[in-house]
Structure 1
Amino acid sequence: MNTHRAIPQSQAPELNIKLLNGDNWSLKDQDPNFFTMVVFYRGLHCPLCKKYLEKLNNLVDDLNTKGVDVIAVSMDPEVRARKSKMDWAIDKVKLGYEMDAETAAKWGLYLSEAISASETPLFSEPGLFLVKPNNEVYYANVSSNPWGRPFLQSFVPLMDFLKNSGYPARGEVTSI
Structure 2
Amino acid sequence: MTHKLAAGKAFPAITLPLLGGGQADLATPALGHDWKLIVVYRGKHCPLCTSYLKQLEQLREGYSKIGIDIIAVSTDSETRATEQISEVNPSYPVGYGLTLDQARMLGLYISGVRNGMNVEAPFAEPGFFIVNEDGNLQLVDTSNVPFARPDLQSVLNGLTWLRSQTTKFPVNGSHE
TM-score normalised to structure 1 length: 0.90
SS in 2 for 1:59: helix
The answer on whether the counterparts of 2:37 and 2:71 sit within 8 Å (CA) in structure 1 is: yes
Report the alpha carbon displacement of residue 172 of structure 1 after superposing the two structures with TM.
Answer: 2.1
Aligned position for 1:12? 11
Name the stretch that deviates more: 29-38 or 51-60. Answer: 29-38
Matched residues, number: 172
Report the alpha carbon displacement of residue 93 of structure 1 after superposing the two structures with TM.
Answer: 2.4
How many angstroms apart in 1 are the aligned matches of 2:48 and 2:83?
Answer: 16
Any gaps of 5 or more consecutive residues in structure 1? none
Report the alpha carbon displacement of residue 117 of structure 1 after superposing the two structures with TM.
Answer: 5.4
Aligned position for 1:150? 150
Aligned position for 1:172? 174
SS in 2 for 1:42: coil
Report the alpha carbon displacement of residue 84 of structure 1 after superposing the two structures with TM.
Answer: 1.0
Aligned position for 1:61? 61
Any gaps of 5 or more consecutive residues in structure 2? none
The answer on whether the counterparts of 2:26 and 2:71 sit within 8 Å (CA) in structure 1 is: no
SS in 1 for 2:135: coil
SS in 2 for 1:69: strand
C-alpha RMSD over aligned residues = 1.7
User: Aligned AA for 1:110?
Assistant: Y
Q: List per-residue Cα deviations over 1:105-129 (Å, max 9, x = no partner).
A: 0100000001155013110000100
Report the alpha carbon displacement of residue 155 of structure 1 after superposing the two structures with TM.
Answer: 2.5
Aligned position for 2:22? 23
SS in 2 for 1:145: coil
TM-score normalised to structure 2 length: 0.90
1:113 and 2:112 correspond: yes
The answer on whether the counterparts of 2:2 and 2:109 sit within 8 Å (CA) in structure 1 is: no
How many angstroms apart in 2 are the aligned matches of 1:70 and 1:117?
Answer: 27
Deviation above 4 Å: which 4+ runs of structure 1?
none
